[in-house]
A and B are shown apart, each in its own frame.
Chain A
Amino acid sequence: MNKARSNPLNTFAMHGALILYTLIALFPVFVILINSFKTRKAIFREPLALPDADSFSLIGYQTVMKQGDFFLYFQNSMIVTVASLTLVLLFGAMAAYALSEYKFRGSTLLGLYLALGIMIPIRIGTVAILEMMVASGLVNTLWALILVYTAQGLPLAVFILSEFMKQVSDDLKNAGRIDGLSEYTIFFRLVLPLVRPAMATVAVFNMIPIWNDLWFPLILAPAEETKTLTLGSQVFIGQFVTNWNAVLSALSLAILPVLVLYMIFSRQLIRGITSGAVK
C-alpha cells in the first residue's frame, strides 16, 4: 500500500472531502424526496423541514397515480433506456473491436469518422430526423427514440472502447485462436469481460441523458402510449399553476430506476478492475 494512503491524516482529509462532496451531491435529491411527502403549504412554508405528523401527505403520489398512465410512462422510459444502452454497448463494442483488432485499408480514417459524432450535437439534425421518422412510419413508436439514442451514444462508445480494447493483450486473443475459439467467442468471452469497466463507464455516461431527455420524446413520440416519464411529468408543470406535490413525487419515482441501473453498472466497474489480469 502506498504511503499517502496509509497516513491517518491523509485518510481523514480524503474521506472528509469525499463525504462533503457526497453531501453536496445528494442534497437536491434529499430535498426532492422529503418535500414529495409534504402538503403543498408545508413545501412552501419550510422547504428544508422533514415531514412531520402535521405536514405529512401522500397527495403528490396519489395525483401522480391517478393522472395519466404513470406506469406506462415508466415502462416506456425503462424500455427506451435499456434498449438504447444495450444497442450502444453491443454495436459500440463490436465496432471498437473491429477497429482495434483488424487493421485494414482506411481503418484509421473510419475510426476518426466514427468519432466525429462526438463533436456534433445530434439535435442539430432534429428536423431531418423527424422527416426520416415520418417517412419510415416510426413516429410515435419507441423505436424512434431507441434508434436516435443509439446513434447519439455510439461515437463516444466506439472512441472509449477502442482505446481500451487496444490494451487487451494480443497473446490472450492468440491463445484463444490456437485453442480453436471463433472470433466471436474471443470477442464475447475474452475481450468483453476485460473491458467491462470501460463498458460500465460508457453505460453510465449514456444512461442519464437518455433517461432525462425531453426533446426527442416531445418531438418524435408525444403520443399518450409512447410518452416517457420525463415527458409525462410535464403535465403537472403548467404555465400558470404548477402542481409541485405531483412534480416532486414524479421526480422521486423517476430517480429510483436510474439509481438501480447505476448500482448495477458501478458494481461491474469495480469487479472489472479487480478481476484477474493477464499477468
Chain B
Amino acid sequence: MTALSLKNVNKSFGPVHVLKDINLEVEDGEFVVFVGPSGCGKSTLLRVIAGLEDATSGEIHIAGEQVNLTPPSKRGIAMVFQSYALYPHLNVRGNMTLALKQERQPKAVIEERVAEASRMLGLEPYLDRYPSELSGGQRQRVAIGRAIVRQPKLFLFDEPLSNLDAALRMNTRIEIANLHRQLSASMIYVTHDQTEAMTLADKIVVLRDGRVEQIGSPMELYNDPANRFVAGFLGAPSMNFLPAEALNPGDPREMGIRPEDIRLEGGGPIAGRVSHVEQLGGDTNVILETPSAPLTIRLFGQHDIRAGQDARFGFDPSRAYYFDEGGQRLR
C-alpha cells in the first residue's frame, strides 16, 4: 500500500508559484528524503503534506485516503521541526503526552507508549525536566519522542539535525536510521545535507524551484542522474563540468566527470597546473587549473603532489556524463 501519494500538487502564495505539479508516491515503510537548494520549496511541500498549508490544487492521499480537507491532527502524521518546537510550559512527559490526551487515549495506553518511546530514545532520566533544562540533542530527542508516541502512519522531519553540532548530528542520524528500522514506519525527511540524504534514504527526491528534478534511490541518482542539476547536486566534492571540446575538438556537448573518476596518469589527456592540495589522510583532493575550467580531483590514498606543479591526469571515458545546452543528460 502507498503511505502517501501526491497528484499534481501546486501551491502558490499569492502571485508566487512555489510548488509546481508535484507527483510523488511513498510506499509503506519507505524512508524518503527531500533535498534541494535553499528556497526550493522543501519545507512548503512538507507543510502541505502535513496540512499546515492548503494545496492550491492537486490531490493528497495518506494511507489511501484523500486528506486535502482533513485538519493536520487527523491526518495520521507526526512532525519534527528544525527548531524542536517543544512546549515550554510542559515537562518532557507533558510534551510527549499532550497529543494523546487530546485524542482522549486511555491512561494506560499513554503510560505505555511514553515508557516505550523514552526507552528507545534514552529519555527516561529526563521525563520530569522542562525543555529549558535540556541540551540541544536532548531536546531534539524529545521532539522525536513526541512524534513516536502518536504512532503515526507517516513521520515528517524538517531538517531535524541542522541545529546540532557535527558529532551529535552523526549520532542522531544513526539513531533515526535505527528508529526507522525498529518502527518500520514511513518517513519523509527534509535536509540539504547530502550525507544525510545518501545515508538515510531509500528514495531521494531532488527538488529545484518547486519542481521535482528526479526521484530514485541514492545510487540511482548518483550513477544515473537525469540532468546536470542532479549530477552536480549529489556527490561531495561535486561533479566537474567542462566543455567536451577541451578534450575532443568539435564536440558541442558539456561533459561531467566525478572527482573520484579522475586518476593520475603520466600521458593522460587532462593537463594543468595544481593550484591547491588538501591532504585528508585517506584521500587527497587536488584542485587543478586547466585551460577550460578548474577541476577537482579526488585521489585515493596519499600522494606527493604540491601546489604549483604541473600534472597530467586521465579518466575512464565510460564514466563520463554528457549534457546538452539545456542541462539534460545525453546518453
Contacts and interface: CB of A to CB of B under 8 A. Distances in A.
B123 interface: no
B81 A275 contact: no
B184 interface: no
Nearest to B74: A180
B107 interface: no
Interface in A135-173: 169, 171-172
B84 A278 contact: yes
A278 B85 CA distance: 6
A178 B50 contact: yes
A277 B88 contact: yes
A181 B85 CA distance: 14
Given A177-B72, A279-B163, A172 B87 contact: yes
B132 A275 contact: yes
Contact of A275 (B50, B72, B89): B89
Contact of B83 (A171, A179, A181, A275): A171
Interface of B: 47, 50, 52, 71-74, 77-79, 81-89, 98-99, 102-103, 130-133, 136, 139, 146, 150, 163
Contacts of B52: 174, 177-178
Contacts of B74: 180
Interface residues of A, number: 20
Contacts of A190: 87, 89
Nearest to B136: A279
Nearest to B80: A175
B91 to A, nearest CB: 10
Contact of A180 (B102, B131, B133): B102
Contact of B73 (A180, A275, A277): A180
Given A177-B72, A178-B50, A178-B77, 15 more contacts: A171-B81, A172-B85, A172-B87, A174-B50, A174-B79, A174-B85, A175-B79, A175-B86, A177-B52, A178-B72, A178-B79, A179-B102, A180-B103, A189-B87, A278-B85
Nearest to A275: B88
A276 interface: yes
A101 B241 CA distance: 46
Contacts of A111: none
A178 B78 contact: yes
A194 interface: yes
A172 B130 CA distance: 15
Contacts of A51: none
B132 A174 contact: no
B130 to A, nearest CB: 5
A117 interface: no
Contact of B133 (A169, A175, A179, A276): A276
Most A-side CB within 10 Å, residue of B50, B71, B72, B163:
B72
Nearest to A190: B87
B70 to A, nearest CB: 12
B83 A169 contact: yes
A167 to B, nearest CB: 13
A193 B72 CA distance: 24
Contacts of A180: 73-74, 99, 102-103
Contacts of A175: 79, 81, 85-87, 146
Contacts of B150: 179
B134 to A, nearest CB: 9
B82 A181 contact: no
B132 A276 contact: yes
A78 B83 CA distance: 43
A181 to B, nearest CB: 6
Nearest to B147: A178
A240 to B, nearest CB: 59
Nearest to A193: B89
Contacts of B131: 276
A278 B83 contact: yes
